[in-house]
Every structure is written in structure tokens, then in C-alpha cells.
A = this chain, B = another copy of it.
Amino acid sequence: MKFSPLILTLFLIGSLNAQWFSKSKPVVLNLMPVPQHIELKSGAFRVTDDFSLGVTGRSHDRIYGGADRFLQRLSGRTVLFFAQGFLNEKTTPTEGKLIIRVQRPGEVKLGEDESYELTISSKGIVLEAHTDLGALHGLETLLQLLSVDGDGYYFPAIQINDHPQYPWRGLLIDVCRHWQPMAVIKRNLDGMAAVKLNVLHFHLSEDQGFRVESKVFPELTEKGSDGNYFTQTQIREIIQYADDRGIRVVPEFDMPGHTTALLTARPDLASGPGPYEIERKFGVFDPTIDPTRESTYVFMEKFWGEMAALFPDEYMHIGGDENNGKQWDANPRIQAFMDSMDLADNHALQRYFNTRLLEILTRNGKKMMGWDEIFQPDLPKNIVIQSWRGRKALIDAARQGYQGILSNGYYIDLCYPTDNHYLNYPIAPDADLTPDERARILGGEATMWAELVTPETIDSRIWPRTAAIAERLWSAPEVNDVDDMYRRLELVSFQLEELGLTHEKNHPMLLRRLRNHQDITALQTLVDVVEPVKGYTRHRFAKYTSFSPLTHVVDAARPDAAVARKFRKLVDAYLANPVEGITQTTIIQHLVRWESNHAKLKTTIAGSPILKEVESLSADLSRAATVGRDALAYLELGEAPDDVWIASSGVILENAKNPRAAMELMVISGIERLREFAISIRP
């Protein structure tokens, strides 16, 4: 086996606690996404207050803003007073300790060159890229390389050659089901740039709200938004902010279903009689645009024309998902139209609608994008299918010559743990596809659907898990060590905080509000080992509307509870080698804390009845911890558990597995394994 730099990288990064030994000291790289090629050299570039940067070559203006933000973040982390500040085209020199060399101005569009080459030696740093977009990615890598030792900050000497695995690396943000204002969008664009995502998929219309000002049809937001929408000026501001960071903005106006808000303003476009009101509940609803009347297309022509001018990206997303067809079935006029046009079923009618939209988009110089349902074999080959249903649909489309991106498996709103998303590949490692077919699978998008998030909590559903998805979309498929991903994710998570993201800091804030007090210790101990229920299960616990409070304990709970995950790992390690030592001691410390926590939390609950919803979870955690302690005691004594303990502890753990208040205890499986092990050594 030849150790090419790539293989060296993957081999090392792929192992737990990967350390690279440079001449003087071990180097642990904390890069996410992992670059394609890394070669570690000996030595380091020390960052001192004489640090400076220069830009050469021929670049788009955005490199200067990027360099300015880089310098601020580097200064913020190192607390060094650099002489440079407020970089722009005029103030940026061509010389410096860091030289950024760009060959040509980049365009923020699908398929643009995003590669870069980063060379760090003790003398200086050179970042080379074909376009400024690649250079921006290189600056993010450089910031992630910042290391520290007793002497201060440094960048390790290294050679990195990097480019993305997939050209379409997106995050969908739904600003409809719960409104998300400008500040949320901006800080998440910064987060996206930090992990090299390049598409903001902006989900702008839904049953619950129409969120963009139309100057042609002002009624859309006047009647369909509760006053919560982006003006066109604000949309331009977002597009500029994204462009400055090398990120495309692809707008989605979901049609013909998911249109209750639009039809509230324009019932004349509906397939049913109306009147309509903005939907407050969540699910799939009946209101659907009438695709059979020419007046619909008069509207569409003007509306999409206006939006095509507002959004510069070449792709526009027409949605197209989850049309339940009820209004079509119930409308005799629509049925008659279908007969007259020889449209066999609702799918055929939706195809007709899509074809009309496609004509409009094409006339406006745009390419069409939509969810699985829009796929039909007679569409032009430049469309993009977004698969929420699964990878198979994507592969089928690719085989027929169509481009697609994967979202199935990246539904971050459903609170699955990070590794689920991380090991979900747009192209499975064993996929049987030709190179041409592979090239049609453009990438993927994490989807932040907003049924159950507010501006307070949305960041905690997006981050840090989306950083792991970003790695899946940027890095080679061989980068797949889950433990090392989690190790790096923990660091990336608090580095993302410097961008204003609130996923870490809003967590204790939410607990303080629930606790009605600054001291949240006991509550925190419980919340550290629970996770929200996965999938759509939470809706079984309460009937949520778009104005229900999302300030429950479950809203503070994290989708990927680190304390619980680490506990389970400790149990694995202990069971592999069940001896006295640090692992056993740490397990016991956890169990002791959980065992005694319920008494403390009960006092808390007395002053915050809102917390009653977690009382039985807390009691079960305490009881389960006792089971774990007992099991360890049996093991230590080499004594067999008796039947009463076996029976009662079994009941306790079974009971503890029940989700309550839309949360589940995530340490029970670990405790269960301790119990089973204790039982297994029965003579």
C-alpha cells in the first residue's frame, strides 16, 4: 500500500484521537470538513502581533471582506493587536506574512471552482486558489488550524490541497412555519461559510406563511404573513451577505400544495371554494392552486418573473411536494379539464402545472428545481431533483440523465444523532453508477424545517450537527470515523460561537427561564442525559400550532446528548476490560451524581411547577443509576445478583425507557448493558 498524502490523511484522521507527530510535539488536527489532501511538515508558523496579510492576483472584491473577517476572528481568538484592520480593496497590501493569491474573480454559481492550496511554513503562509471562493474556504481551514501551546498561538507547518467532493452543499431554512428574522439568517450564513457549505435553500412560502414582499402582489404578505416577511430590500441584503461568503441563495416557492397562506391572499387561484386563513397547525393540508385556469398562469408569469429578477441564482425551486389532491378530486371543473386534456390522474395534472411553470422559468432564464414529486421523464436535463424520499429516487433519476441532490437522511429537524446524518452518503460507497451518473448527483442539503423551532432554538437544531453533514458533502467518503467526527465536532461547536450562533449559549438561558432562577445545576444534570424524541414523535405529546410555546425542557434538550454518548462509550470500554481503573471510576461518578440528582431536582420543581413534566424522568434516572451502581457492585464482589434484584431492576430500566415530555433518557441502554453483564456472570 502506497502512502500517498491522501491516504496518510485519511488513515490518521480516521483513527480515534488522531495525532500527527511533528518534529517537536504531537499535532492533533481539528479540521471539519477534513481536506482532500494533507501533508504535515515539521515546524510551525507562530502568530504574533506583527502578523499581516496581503492579497495578490485578480480577485472579486469579496476576498477583502473575507480577509477582514479572518483577521478579526484571528485577533479575537489570539487577543493580539495587529497593525492591520478594516481591510478593503484600497487598504489591503500585496505583501504580508499570509499571502492570498487568487487567479480570477469567482462567480457564486453551481460548479464554480472552489479549490484551494494552503502552504504553511515557519516563514509564512501562502493561500492559492483559482477563485476567491476557494480562497475563502482556505481561510476557514486556516482558522481551524490555529493551535496553541505554552508559547502562544501557531499554525502547524502543513501543505493542504483541497476541493469539495460535491458542488451542491446546502442548508434549507424554513422561515414559514416559524418566522426567522434577518439576524437568524445572517448568523447561520456565517456558520455555513465556516464549514464550507455553499447553498442557502430559502423555503419562503408555506401553508403557515408567505415570507417575501411582492411589489406586484403586495396582498401576498399583507394577508399571508402576519406581518412577518422579508422586504425585497432585505432579500437583497441577505443575497449580498451570502454572496460575500461564497454562498448561493436558492428560493423555494412551494406549489401547487403548501399554499394556504398564498391562497389566503389570493383565493381566486385556489382549487377549492375558500375562503382561506393562514394555517396554524402542522401537517399536509388541502388548499391547492388550481392549475386548470389560464388566470393562474397570468399570476405565475408575473410572480415568478418578479422573483426571478430578485433572486440572481440560476436555480429556482418550485416545491411540488405533498399535494394531497383532495381539492382537485372534489372540483368538477378541474375533473372536466383533466378529461378534456387527457390527463389520467392528479400526477398528470401536476405534471401539466410543472410544465407550465418550467416554461415561465425558462423564459426568465432560470433552471427549475423541485422535490421528488416533480420528476417526470420529459423534463429538460438541466433541472435538479431534490430527494426527500430517499437515495433510490436520486439514483433512478441520475440513470435517466437527471441531476439531483439528497435531503433524505439530512432532516436535522427530526433530532436524530449526528452519526446518522454523517454516514448518509449522497452516493453510497458501494453505489453501482457510471462516472457520468455520479456527476449528476450534485450533493445534498440539510433541511431545517421549522414546525418546532423559534429564533431562540433554531441554531441548536442546526448546529453543530450540520457541520458533520457539511463534512460528508465536502470530504472524501473514506472520512467516516464516527468517534473522530464527534471529537472534532465538539471543538467546532464552540468555535462557531464566535459567529454569533446561539446553539451553545441559549441552552443554559432556556434552563434559567424554566427554572426561574440562575442556579440550574440539578436541571442541567438531567437535561445532559436526555434527548428529544426522534422523528415526528413529538407531535404525539402535544398539539402544536405556530404560536405554541417552544420553551419546554425538550426545547433546551440537545439532539445529540454528549454526556450520554460518552457514558455509553465508557460502558463499552469497561465491558471490554472490566477492571478497576479510571473508566470504572468515571462510570461510578456519573451514576452517583444521577442517583442523588432527583432529590435536588424535586426541590427545584417545587418552585417551578413547569418542571413537573420531567419529574418522573428524573425519578427514573435516579432509580436507573442505582441499578447501574448495584450491577457494578455485584461485578466487583464477583457475586451473583439475586432474582429479586434481577426482576425489579428489569422493571426499572424498562420503565425508564419510556419517553416522557417528548424526551427520552439516553443512558439507560448503557446501564442495561452493565446489568446484563452482571447477570451474565451468574454462576
A521 contacts the other chain (CB 8 A): no
The minimal Cβ–Cβ distance linking A85 to chain B, given in whole angstroms, is 3
Closest beta carbon of chain B to A125's beta carbon, Å = 20
A183 within 8 A of B: yes
Q: Which residues of B contact A226 (CB under 8 A)?
A: 86, 88
B505 in contact with A490 (CB, 8 Å): no
Contact A513-B542, Cβ < 8 Å, known A183-B182, A552-B79: no
Chain B residues, Cβ within 8 Å of A548: 75, 81
Judge whether A551 and B505 touch: CB under 8 Å. Answer: no
A336 at the binding interface (Cβ < 8 Å): no
Is there an interface contact between B551 and A77, defined as CB atoms closer than 8 Å? Answer: yes
Cα distance A500–B513 in the bound complex, in angstroms: 13
Which residues, 556 to 610 on A, are CB-close (under 8 Å) to B? 606-610
Copies in the complex: 2
Stretch at the interface among A31-39, A143-151, A469-477: A143-151
Q: Which residues of B contact A149 (CB under 8 A)?
A: 609
Asked whether any CB of chain B lies closer than 8 Å to the CB of A547, the reply is yes
Chain B residues closer than 8 Å to A455, beta-carbon distance: 500
CB contacts (< 8 Å) of A498 on chain B: these are 513
Known: A81-B549, A551-B76. A150 touches B505 (CB 8 A): no
Interface flags, A596-634, vs B, CB<8A=1, else 0 = 000000000011111000000000000000000000000
Contact assessment for B497 and A549 in the assembled complex, using a CB-CB cutoff below 8 Å: no
Given contacts A88-B226, A497-B512, 14 further A-B contacts (CB under 8 A): A76-B549, A76-B551, A86-B280, A148-B607, A148-B610, A183-B183, A183-B186, A233-B233, A455-B500, A490-B518, A494-B509, A494-B512, A494-B513, A504-B512
Is the C-beta of A152 less than 8 angstroms from some C-beta in chain B? yes
> Interface residues, chain A, CB within 8 Å of chain B?
72, 75-82, 84-86, 88, 148-153, 182-183, 186, 226-227, 231, 233, 278, 280, 455-456, 490, 494, 497-498, 500, 502, 504-506, 508-509, 512-514, 516, 518, 542-543, 545-549, 551-552, 606-610
Which 10 pairs, one residue from A and one from B, show the smallest C-beta to C-beta distance? A85-B547, A505-B505, A183-B183, A75-B549, A76-B551, A86-B226, A79-B549, A152-B609, A505-B509, A494-B512
Let me know if A497 and B509 touch, CB within 8 A: yes
Contact B505 A506 (CB under 8 A): yes
Decide if B508 touches A79 in the complex (CB within 8 Å). Answer: no
Contact A606 B150 (CB under 8 A): yes
A–B pairs, 14, beta carbons within 8 Å: A77-B513, A78-B549, A79-B549, A80-B549, A86-B546, A148-B608, A150-B609, A151-B609, A182-B183, A490-B518, A494-B509, A494-B512, A504-B512, A505-B506
Contact present for B545 and A85 (CB under 8 Å) = yes
A190 CB → nearest B CB, Å: 12
CB distance from A522 to the nearest CB of B (A): 17
Residues of B within 8 A of A76 (CB): 513, 549, 551
C-alpha spacing A494/B610, complex, angstroms: 17
- CB nearest to A493 among chain B residues: B518
Which B residues are in CB contact (< 8 Å) with A82? 547
- A74, closest chain B residue (CB): B549
Identity of the chain B residue whose Cβ is nearest the Cβ of A552 in the assembled complex: B79
Q: Give the Cβ gap from A128 to chain B, nearest Cβ, in Å.
A: 26
| A280→B545 CA distance, assembly (Å) | 50
Contact in complex: B86, A547 (CB < 8 Å): yes
Q: Which residue of B lies closest to A149 (CB)?
A: B609
The distance in angstroms between the C-alpha atoms of A86 and B209, with both chains bound, is: 12
Please pick, from B81, B182, B456, B545, the residue contacting A542 in the complex, using a CB distance under 8 A.
Answer: B81
What distance in Å separates the Cβ of A523 from its nearest Cβ neighbour in chain B? 14
A214 to chain B, nearest CB (A): 17
Q: Give the docked Cα–Cα distance between A183 and B241 (Å).
A: 15
Q: Contacting A505 at CB < 8 Å: which of B227, B494, B508, B516?
A: B508
With the chains together, A72 CA to B542 CA distance in Å? Answer: 18
Contact B79 A610 (CB under 8 A): yes
C-alpha spacing A25/B518, complex, angstroms: 23
Chain B residues lying within 8 Å of A543, measured Cβ to Cβ, are 81
Query: Chain B residues with Cβ under 8 A from A182's Cβ?
Result: 182-183
Which of the residues B148, B505, B549 comes within 8 Å of A609, measured between beta carbons?
A: B148
The chain B residue with its CB closest to the CB of A613 is B79
Q: Find out whether the CB atom of A504 lies under 8 angstroms from the CB atom of B509.
A: yes
- Cβ A75 vs Cβ B504 within 8 A: no
**Docked CA distance A88–B225 (Å):** 12
Complexed CA–CA distance, A152 and B552 (Å) = 15
Assess whether B512 is in contact with A610, with CB atoms less than 8 Å apart: no
Give the docked Cα–Cα distance between A227 and B149 (Å). Answer: 36
A605 → chain B, closest Cβ, in Å? 9
The minimal Cβ–Cβ distance linking A80 to chain B, given in whole angstroms, is 7
Q: How far is the CA of A497 from the CA of B515 in the complex (A)?
A: 13
In the complex, what's the smallest C-beta–C-beta distance from A180 to chain B, in angstroms? 13
Docked Cα-Cα span, A150 to B615, in Å, equals 13
Q: A150 — which chain B residues lie within 8 A by C-beta?
A: 606, 609
A551-B79 in contact (CB<8A)? yes
Q: Considering only CB atoms, which chain B residue lies closest to A562 in the complex? A: B518
CB <8 Å contact, A518 and B542: no
Q: Which residues of B contact A505 (CB under 8 A)?
A: 502, 505-506, 508-509
A81 to B186, CA, bound (A): 30
Contacts of A183 in B (CB 8 A): 182-183, 186
Select from chain B the residue with minimum beta-carbon distance to A546. B85
Give A85's nearest chain B residue, CB to CB. Answer: B547
